[in-house]
Chains A and B, each alone.
Chain A
Amino acid sequence: DSGVTQTPKHLITATGQRVTLRCSPRSGDLSVYWYQQSLDQGLQFLIQYYNGEERAKGNILERFSAQQFPDLHSELNLSSLELGDSALYFCASSDSPGQGTDTQYFGPGTRLTVL
């Protein structure tokens, strides 16, 4: 158990809908990272927050947005969903701002299925 929690575990929805994925980092970690992993693919970095502020952006679509709240949990919002958004979404946390030497601790993921 990494100490990172993600809810829900599974999500099934229809095209055009909007969903929110939630992540709570390990106790004491200030950084939260979001990744997308399509079936049998690698990890695509979406976005990182550090202590409530956006720190880095990866290949995140404009239909997607995220935020980190004062209690450090983070939410990833996916809107106008398309079939291609079906994937596993991981949240990871680390204890520093993202200096390239951070060990990232991953949550169990949310599996999103868009029908």
Chain B
Amino acid sequence: GQQVMQIPQYQHVQEGEDFTTYCNSSTTLSNIQWYKQRPGGHPVFLIQLVKSGEVKKQKRLTFQFGEAKKNSSLHITATQTTDVGTYFCAGPESNYQLIWGAGTKLIIKP
């Protein structure tokens, strides 16, 4: 069946360093969504990308959707402690239900 793979599973960074998580789908996606889950919290919607090659920015966060609409990335510039959490991508399956990536946990090294 359709799969959404997300890497890496964990990323440790020093505060101020950049962070990137990658999402790859086994099939072409009509759109991709990104969510953030803070430690002890619930997933919160960040953004949705729809167009091939789309790039969207939210302050220090840059989201990209690949030209083939099978991959996406989230890049955070100059991480801050408030960025800590797990970032999930999710794309619709053929029956329109969201298939979720396993998430990338961002850990800020003390």
User: Chain A interface (Cβ within 8 Å of chain B)?
Assistant: 2, 40-43, 45, 48, 56, 58, 90, 92, 98-101, 103-109
In the assembly, what is the distance between CA of A32 and CA of B31, in Å?
21
In the assembly, what is the distance between CA of A98 and CA of B97, in Å?
6
In the assembly, what is the distance between CA of A81 and CA of B30, in Å?
38
Contacts of A105 in B (CB 8 A): 45
Contacts of B92 in A (CB 8 A): 99-101
Contact pattern, B 30-49, Cβ under 8 Å of A = 1, otherwise 0: 11010000000111110010
Contacting pair A103 B97 (CB below 8 A): no
Q: With A42-B103, A100-B31 as given contacts, are A2 and B44 in contact (CB-CB < 8 Å)?
A: yes
Contacts of B100 in A (CB 8 A): 42-43, 45
Contacts of B102 in A (CB 8 A): 41-42
Majority SS at the chain A contact face: loop
Contacts of B85 in A (CB 8 A): none
In the assembly, what is the distance between CA of A21 and CA of B89, in Å?
26
Contacts of A43 in B (CB 8 A): 43, 88, 100, 103
* B95 is an interface residue with CB less than 8 A from chain A: yes
Contacting pair A100 B96 (CB below 8 A): yes
16 contacts across the A-B interface (CB closer than 8 A): A40-B105, A42-B100, A42-B101, A43-B88, A43-B103, A45-B97, A45-B98, A56-B96, A90-B42, A98-B96, A100-B30, A101-B31, A101-B50, A106-B42, A107-B42, A109-B42
Question: Count of chain B residues with Cβ under 8 Å from any Cβ of A?
Answer: 24
Contacting pair B101 A108 (CB below 8 A): no
Shortest distance from the beta carbon of B63 to any chain A beta carbon, whole Å: 15
In the assembly, what is the distance between CA of A107 and CA of B103, in Å?
18
Contacting pair A103 B45 (CB below 8 A): yes
Contacting pair B48 A106 (CB below 8 A): no
Contacts of A40 in B (CB 8 A): 105
Q: With A42-B103, A43-B88, A101-B30 as given contacts, are A106 and B96 in contact (CB-CB < 8 Å)?
A: no
Shortest distance from the beta carbon of B53 to any chain A beta carbon, whole Å: 18
